Amino acid sequence: MGTIIETNDLRAYYITQAYGVERTVKAVDGITLRIKEGEVYGIAGESGCGKSTLLRILLGAYEPPLTVVGGEVKYHLDGDILDAADLTDEQQRDLKWRTISYIPQGSMHVLNPVRRIRDTFHDFISAHRDATKSESFQLTADYLRDLGLPEKVLASYPHQLSGGMRQRVTIALATILWPKLIFADEPTTALDVVVQRGVIQMLKDVQQKEGSTLVLITHDIGVHANLADRIGILYAGKLVEESDTKTILENPRHPYTRFLIESLPSLDSREERLAIPGRPPALDRPPSGCRFHERCPLAKDICQTVEPDLIEIEPKHFTACHVVEEELSSVAV
């Protein structure tokens, strides 16, 4: 399986200027990713770690103050390598929905409140494909039936649907043209767990039907465990650990990932879960060295000054941590 999207040392900052004071928020700071065709890649991390920003850049949907200051995003599509920064407006438009699509965060408000669902579908379909109204309706009705959604939602207005149904309709709207690459931003957040399960199942169905690639962003490790093939852990705008889902869940190495996994409730144990000490750093003045050192119980002197590199500690398991690195080298010696 080839790569479908890659980033190389991607840096994207929010640069704002108010009353002559310039403020730079380093939301994405040197991220290198390779996402393979047909896989479900999960991006996890706490609020404000740059997850959604990264997604916006990958999607090519960003405006100032968010600016890409370094690195690159490349799509590998049908044998061509396209640099996201070089795309013309026309290419952007052609790629959207037919090839690259997006399931937004907070689907409560992404559907036009004064437009029937079927008309919204027609708007989105006809923007990318010659389709008459009745063709669009037919396509939509078939697709919704495949996904197990009731046909009556077609004639409804968004406010007549429940939150879970609206999220499912939004997923259907995003994937109606069978895109190769789907980005989903917190698709299950704000839904109760029963509905979450249905939405996760639906995402799985959509992804597996055509073997699309799904890039899934959520802070909910449980959702990643259900869906993702590989997980990347983001902390303060940096990728701190990346491996397949099983390894991340069973053998996390970075202290931050460990905290994340250990904080998950378990059916077997009733003991109290520890929260990660401290709070996420402000990204306009990130800590020096390893960005996690202020909250890390294992932190050493080197962590405060030298930024750790992402190294492969075992096959296909990458971690950026001085402590882990030292342990490994001492074992090797």
Partner 1 sequence: MNLLRTYILPRIFQWFLVVFIGITVTFLIPRLSPINPVDEILARMTAFQTMDPEAFKTMRETTLALYGLDKTLLEQYVLYWQRLMVGDLGPSFGNFPRPVTEIIATALPWTIGLLLTTTIISWTAGVLLGSLAGYFHNRRWAQVFERVVVVIYPVPYLIIAFVLILIFVAELKWFPLMGGSRGDAALTWEYISTLIYFGFMPALSVVIGATAFRFIMAKSLTTTEIASDYVQYAELAAVPKRKIILFYVARNTMLPQVTDLALSLGLIFEGALITEVLFTYPGIGFVLYNAIYNGDYNVIMGITLLSIIGVATAALLIDLLYPLFDPRVRLR
Q: How many CA atoms lie within 13 A of 163 on its CB side?
A: 13
Pick the closer one to partner 1 by CB: 23 or 159. 159
- Binding to partner 1 by CB under 8 A, coded x per residue (else -) over 33-62, reads --------------------------x-x-
Nearest distance in Å: CB 100, partner 1: 10
CA 174 from centroid of its chain's CA atoms: 15
Count interface residues toward partner 1 (CB under 8 A): 25
Task: Return the structure tokens found at 245.
Answer: 């889902």
What residue type is assigned to position 306 of the chain?
Answer: V
Neighbours of 246 (CB within 10 A): 12
- Among residues 75, 124, 256, 318, the one that binds partner 1 under rule CB under 8 A: 124
The DSSP symbol for 276 reads P
CA distance 116 to 62: 28
Give the 3-state secondary structure percentages of the chain, helix then strand then coil, rounded to 5.
40, 25, 35
- Among residues 123, 142, 151, 284, the one that binds partner 1 under rule CB under 8 A: 123
Q: How many CA atoms lie within 13 A of 333 on its CB side?
A: 5
- Window of 117-125, 227-235, 275-283, 291-299 that interacts with partner 1 by CB under 8 A: 117-125
Pick the closer one to partner 1 by CB: 112 or 305. 112
CA distance 120 to 154: 9
Assess 273 for contact with partner 1 (CB under 8 A).
no
- Binding to partner 1 by CB under 8 A, coded x per residue (else -) over 74-93, reads ------------------xx
Q: Which positions lie near partner 1, rule CB under 8 A?
A: 59, 61, 92-93, 96-97, 102, 104, 106, 108-115, 119, 123-124, 127-128, 157, 159-160
